[in-house]
């Protein structure tokens, strides 16, 4: 069975028919629910306080429902409109099951207060592509979850889509919109080990701390990968201490990383060699700099560096 | 789309300086009354941008005049003012903009809202 990610963009795969199938399959619902509960467990939320959780790739709202049961409120985003419409139906049915005596509530009757304690769904939905960055104010969310969605970023479906760039854009915007001290748990299905490494790399490069938790590592079918991200506590403490001392160069860890290629500090542009085998001075100097950064012993740069030797050594 | 969501949304189109708060141009607004959860409201109040809420309600009142009027600034001891708490909860959680659009204040770019779901998908040149 081929992976759905290989067939095309997520919005095309999750069309109306597929969305209905997804939502009505009890096996799928069961599996997704289990994954969500595990993700919430990894989030280590305080369930006595309602938290604002971002659900990325919320699909038909299965994970959102679990979040609500734990007492939190959420905002889900998904790139497939058909899945979102199914989610709306689910939320609507959930609400209608809870208060039978109210009926359709389109009218503005102010006396329609339900006597039952059950609340209507506190989730909201948004149609959006996660690879283009999250359009929210900084520090909006207390936490973030994502169930079986992240791997879609690893496949490029158009000329302008570059997986690494999309992943980096996604993670850097996630870093910004998460409140400090918040956590993100993203369950995904990597096709290869390289994909898992790519995803983790892009996440840690923007400043997140954390890594991947693998449940059932010995079973190919049951194996689940959870990318658990948080804000590096050590760097936070260092930053606070440095700010207290009034050091302006304190903020080594980026607070919000803007991903524009040219302005990235220390952008590594490999210098070009003139022709194969001939190393330009630029290349040699760059290489020496790299080695110095690695901490190796390197001769100082002088006027003799990369000078063309008159005779072969 | 609830006003709670609207409070946090901003335009992240490439090169936009101040894409917040988004203006609302409503076409269809629905009210779904739900019991007031006081604790929830009081816990989210500090993080809300109240001016954006006030502006959003003002824009919606042009379309739906039964919405409550909110004070232009939040009073200090809000937990004592039951009416204001109820009004705020109502405005944030029970008012749903079903159709309409969101407008970026800087670039006037429109984000359509259809069936209660705002479409924030960017075009290729806006990424």
Per CB-CB distance under 8 Å, the chain A contacts of B67 are: none
Q: Does the pLDDT value for residue A233 go beyond 70?
A: no
CA–CA distance, A43 with A53 (Å, rounded to integer):
10
The fold of the A4-231 domain, in CATH, is Rossmann fold (3.40.50)
Q: Looking at chain A, which residue has its C-alpha nearest residue B28?
A: A106
- Closest by CA to B48, choosing from B28, B66, B67, B73, is B73
- What span, in angstroms and rounded, lies between the C-alpha atoms of A311 and B26? 79
Task: Dump pLDDT digits (tens) for A251-288.
Answer: 444 455 555 544 445 545 566 666 667 778 888 999 99
- The pLDDT confidence band at residue B8, using thresholds 50, 70 and 90, is very high
The answer to whether A107 contacts B20, with C-beta atoms less than 8 Å apart, is no
Share of chain B above pLDDT 90, in %: 46
Average pLDDT over chain A, rounded to whole? 82
Contact A107 B31 (CB under 8 A): yes
Q: Do B5 and A122 touch (CB under 8 A)?
A: no
Show which residues on chain A lie within 8 Å of chain B, measured between beta carbons: 49-50, 52, 73, 75, 77, 79, 81, 84-85, 88, 95, 105-110, 112-114, 117, 119-120, 122, 124-129, 132-137, 139-140, 158, 160, 169, 173
Q: Per residue in A161-200, pLDDT tens?
A: 889 999 999 999 999 999 988 999 999 999 999 999 999 9
pLDDT tens digits for range B67-86: 888 888 888 888 888 888 89
| pLDDT score of A237 more than 70 | no
Mean pLDDT of the residues in chain B: 89
Of residues A17 and A186, which shows the higher confidence score? Answer: A186
pLDDT tens per residue, range A74-102: 999 999 999 999 999 888 888 777 654 44
- The C-alpha R_g of chain A, in whole angstroms, comes to 25
Strand partners, A73: A52
Look at the domain B3-121 and name its fold.
N-terminal domain of TfIIb (2.20.25)
Query: Which of these ranges, A41-50, A111-120, A239-248, has the smallest mean pLDDT?
Result: A111-120
What are the extents of the domains in chain B? 3-121
Nearest by CB to residue B119, choosing from A52, A122, A127, is: A127
**What are phi and psi for residue A292, nearest 5 degrees?**
-65, -40
**Residue A72 preceded by cis peptide, ω within 30:** no
Q: What is the tens place of the pLDDT at every residue in A207-228? A: 999 999 999 999 988 999 999 9
The residue whose two tokens read 């290989």 is A6
């Amino acid at each position: 069975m081929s992976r759905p990610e290989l067939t095309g963009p997520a919005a095309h795969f999750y069309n109306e028919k597929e969305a209905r199938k997804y939502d009505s399959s009890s096996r799928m619902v069961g599996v997704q629910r289990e994954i969500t509960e595990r993700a919430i467990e990894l989030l280590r939320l305080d369930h006595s306080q309602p938290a604002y959780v971002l659900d990325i790739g919320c699909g038909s709202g299965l994970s959102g429902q679990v979040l609500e049961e734990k007492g939190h409120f959420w905002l889900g985003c998904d790139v497939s409109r058909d899945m979102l419409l199914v989610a709306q139906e689910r939320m609507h049915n959930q609400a209608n099951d809870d208060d039978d005596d109210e009926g359709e509530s389109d009218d503005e009757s102010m006396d329609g207060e339900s006597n039952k304690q059950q609340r209507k769904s506190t989730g909201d939905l948004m149609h959006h592509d996660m690879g283009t960055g999250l359009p929210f104010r900084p520090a909006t969310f207390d936490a973030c979850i994502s169930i079986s969605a992240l791997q879609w970023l690893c496949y490029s479906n158009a000329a302008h889509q570059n997986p690494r760039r999309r992943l980096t854009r996604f993670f850097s915007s996630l870093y910004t919109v998460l409140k400090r001290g918040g956590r993100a748990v993203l369950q995904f299905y990597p096709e290869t080990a390289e994909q898992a490494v790519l995803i983790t790399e892009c996440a840690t490069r923007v400043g997140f701390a954390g890594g991947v938790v693998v449940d059932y590592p010995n079973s190919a079918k049951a194996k689940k990968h959870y990318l658990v991200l948080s804000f590096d506590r050590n760097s936070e403490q260092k930053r606070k201490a440095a700010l207290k001392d009034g050091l302006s160069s304190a903020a080594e860890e980026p607070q919000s990383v803007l991903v524009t290629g040219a302005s990235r500090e220390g952008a590594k542009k490999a210098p070009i060699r003139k022709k194969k085998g001939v190393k330009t001075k630029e290349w040699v100097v760059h290489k020496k700099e790299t080695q110095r950064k690695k901490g190796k012993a390197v001769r100082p740069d002088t006027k003799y560096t990369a000078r063309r030797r008159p005779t072969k050594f | 789309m609830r006003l709670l969501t609207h409070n946090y949304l901003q335009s992240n189109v490439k090169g936009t300086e101040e894409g917040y708060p988004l203006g609302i141009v409503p076409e269809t607004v629905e009210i779904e009354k739900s019991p007031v959860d006081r604790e929830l409201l009081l816990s989210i109040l500090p993080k809300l941008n109240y001016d954006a809420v006030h502006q959003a309600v003002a824009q919606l009142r042009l379309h739906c005049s039964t919405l409550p009027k909110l004070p232009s600034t939040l009073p200090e001891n809000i937990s004592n003012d039951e009416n204001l708490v109820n009004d705020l909860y109502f405005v944030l959680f029970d008012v749903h903009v079903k159709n309409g659009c969101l407008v970026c204040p800087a670039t006037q770019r429109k984000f359509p809202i259809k069936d209660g779901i705002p479409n924030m998908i960017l075009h290729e040149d806006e990424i």
